[in-house]
């Protein structure tokens, strides 16, 4: 674990103290995203050591790796473990006011393995879950957030929250969660199963009018940075992302799980995961969703760059198991990278490998800070029409270069110099 003297600069910031019901809907940005230069970290005489520290919405993290909301953030013991292992920040399992309404079933996970016909020997590439949000009493979770912030005041703890379509409920939840000292809120507008039946999660994230209204309630109340977590189960993810930012959120996280049916057991003819002979579509995660997540993050990053000159933050999520997977999200513009299923498969120690991999990548390219390469690959995305034009032009140029003269009879008097040059190799 990197032992850096970092601390959250938010929480009790005087800038935030002004946040309250009377504020205009769209608040001025409170903190920029500039990253401390890595030059200071340079070893004597040698190349600077890659600096993984990030500063996002004023929150300082030792590295960009964040525990995503899910089983790895369900209770005090596991969140403490995440801090001890060196994760840059922890996002809790999503909490709501009344956990008694949350009733889970088992089995609730199903896995897809690589290899022919789902060979049991293949590595896990896809993961479906039908798990709901936290089923632990809110009061218990709040006490644990408080304890964690008391024991780790300099580490970043983000509470994931979700409520029913009710302004009072949302605002009560925000007030009680913020009172524990958490550094930021991530709003789960994206859970694809179970919760939409109660007009929660993806039901809000898929409806821009609802989303705008709920974001309004949230941002009217919250005094810490708010990240809106997007569902990929929508035609154009930039639409809700835009609405969330316009409605006052400081950042966007993407993606939550993708609506899926893991498969049908060809012996029993029942779907998986199978609960008393039945199933329900769940959320897909892990390596298989990574390319889809990259596309969604790219679309959001492009929209942010083209439409806003503010430093909104972007958190990339989906199928991260290596530092290279994380580098891809950052190259598309993500400030932080979240991991859920990767931790369920490899444990909390995964963060050490992620940091080592990412530093190796940075050394290879002489990047000294995350900001050195954040968003660098975004410029290489264009339309298909533009690809066609670029390719035709490249072919034309290659042909022109290669062309030369086919035969001595082709030399002309007027074009003699050009004709000569067309056959020179350097
Ligand atoms: C078992 C499981 C439970 C999850 N629970 C939540 C949750 O409570 N709130 C939430 O916002 N996302 C939840 N997620 C979604 C993850 O945070 C993440 O967005 C998604 O799994 C993609 O990332 P991954 O491939 O790293 O897992 C859950 C994912 C899994 C696999």
> Phi/psi at 109 (nearest 5 deg)?
-120, 150
Q: Are residues 366 and 415 both part of a single domain? A: no
Angle at 299 between CA 298 and CA 301, to 5 degrees: 65
Q: Would 6 be classed as within a structural domain? A: no
Burial, 350: exposed, middle or buried (Cβ in 10 Å; 0-12, 13-18, 19+)?
buried
416 with 306, same domain?
Answer: no
Same structural domain for residues 416 and 328? no
Residue-level pLDDT at 140: 98
415 with 344, same domain: the answer is no
**Closest protein CA for atom 2 of ligand 1:** 70
The reply to whether 134 and 268 lie within a common domain is: yes
User: Are 401 and 348 part of one and the same domain?
Assistant: no
- Domain membership of residue 118 (yes or no) is yes
Q: Do 366 and 393 belong to one domain?
A: no
Residues 247 and 106 in one domain: yes
Examine residue 163 and state whether it is found in any structural domain, yes or no.
yes
Q: State whether 294 and 397 are in the same domain.
A: no
Cα-to-centroid distance, 70 and ligand 1 (Å): 5
Give per-residue pLDDT as tens, 105-148.
Answer: 999 999 999 975 555 668 999 999 999 999 999 999 999 999 99
Helices 76-85 & 138-151 angle (0-180, nearest 10): 30
Are 293 and 392 found together in one domain?
no
Q: How far is the CA of 256 from the centre of ligand 1 (A)?
A: 6
Q: How confident is the chain (426 residues) per 10-residue block, as mean pLDDT?
A: 36 36 37 40 66 98 98 98 98 97 95 73 92 97 98 98 96 98 96 80 91 97 98 97 98 97 96 96 97 98 94 97 98 98 98 98 98 98 97 89 80 91 80
Ligand 1 site, residue 318, Cβ cutoff 6 A: yes
144, part of any domain = yes
Residue 259 shares a structural domain with residue 302: yes
Angle among Cα 343, 354, 157 to the nearest 5 degrees reads 60
Q: Is residue 332 part of a domain?
A: yes
Q: What is the total count of domains within the chain?
A: 2
pTM recorded for the entire structure:
0.86
- 300 and 409 fall within a common domain: no
Query: Containing domain of residue 131, as a range?
Result: 14-380
């Amino acid at each position: 674990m990197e032992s850096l003297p970092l601390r959250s600069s938010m929480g009790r910031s005087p800038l935030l103290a002004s946040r309250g019901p009377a504020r205009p809907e769209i608040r001025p940005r409170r903190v920029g995203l500039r990253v401390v230069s890595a030059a200071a970290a340079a070893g004597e005489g040698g190349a600077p050591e890659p600096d993984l520290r990030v500063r996002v919405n004023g929150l300082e993290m030792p590295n960009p790796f964040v525990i995503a909301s899910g089983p790895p953030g369900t209770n005090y013991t596991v969140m403490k473990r995440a801090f001890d292992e060196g994760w840059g920040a922890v996002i809790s399992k999503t909490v709501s006011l009344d956990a008694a309404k949350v009733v889970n079933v088992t089995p609730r996970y199903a896995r897809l393995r690589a290899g022919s016909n789902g060979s049991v020997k293949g590595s896990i590439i896809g993961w479906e879950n039908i798990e709901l949000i936290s089923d632990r009493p809110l009061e218990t979770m709040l006490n644990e957030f408080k304890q964690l912030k008391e024991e780790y005041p300099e580490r970043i703890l983000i509470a994931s929250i979700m409520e029913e379509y009710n302004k009072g409920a949302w605002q009560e939840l925000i007030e009680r969660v913020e009172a524990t000292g958490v550094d930021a809120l991530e709003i789960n507008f994206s859970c694809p199963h179970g919760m939409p039946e109660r007009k929660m999660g993806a039901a809000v994230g898929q409806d821009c009018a609802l989303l705008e209204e709920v974001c309004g309630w949230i941002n009217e109340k919250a005094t810490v940075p708010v990240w809106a977590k997007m569902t990929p189960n929508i035609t154009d993810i930039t639409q809700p992302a835009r609405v969330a930012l316009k409605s006052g959120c400081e950042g966007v996280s993407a993606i939550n799980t993708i609506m899926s049916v893991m498969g049908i057991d060809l012996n029993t003819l029942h779907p998986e995961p199978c609960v008393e002979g039945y199933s329900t579509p769940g959320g897909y995660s892990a390596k298989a969703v990574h390319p889809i997540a990259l596309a969604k993050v790219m679309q959001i990053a492009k929209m942010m760059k083209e439409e806003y000159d503010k430093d909104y933050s972007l958190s990339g999520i989906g199928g991260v198991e290596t530092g290279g997977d994380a580098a891809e999200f950052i190259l598309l513009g993500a400030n932080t990278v979240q991991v859920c299923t990767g931790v369920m498969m490899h444990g909390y120690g995964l963060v050490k490998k992620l940091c080592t991999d990412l530093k190796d990548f940075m050394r290879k390219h002489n990047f000294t800070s995350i900001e050195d390469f954040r968003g660098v690959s975004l410029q290489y995305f264009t339309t298909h029409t533009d690809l066609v034009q670029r390719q035709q032009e490249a072919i034309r140029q290659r042909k022109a270069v290669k062309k030369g003269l086919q035969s001595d009879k082709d030399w002309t008097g007027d074009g003699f110099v050009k004709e000569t040059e067309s056959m020179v190799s350097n």
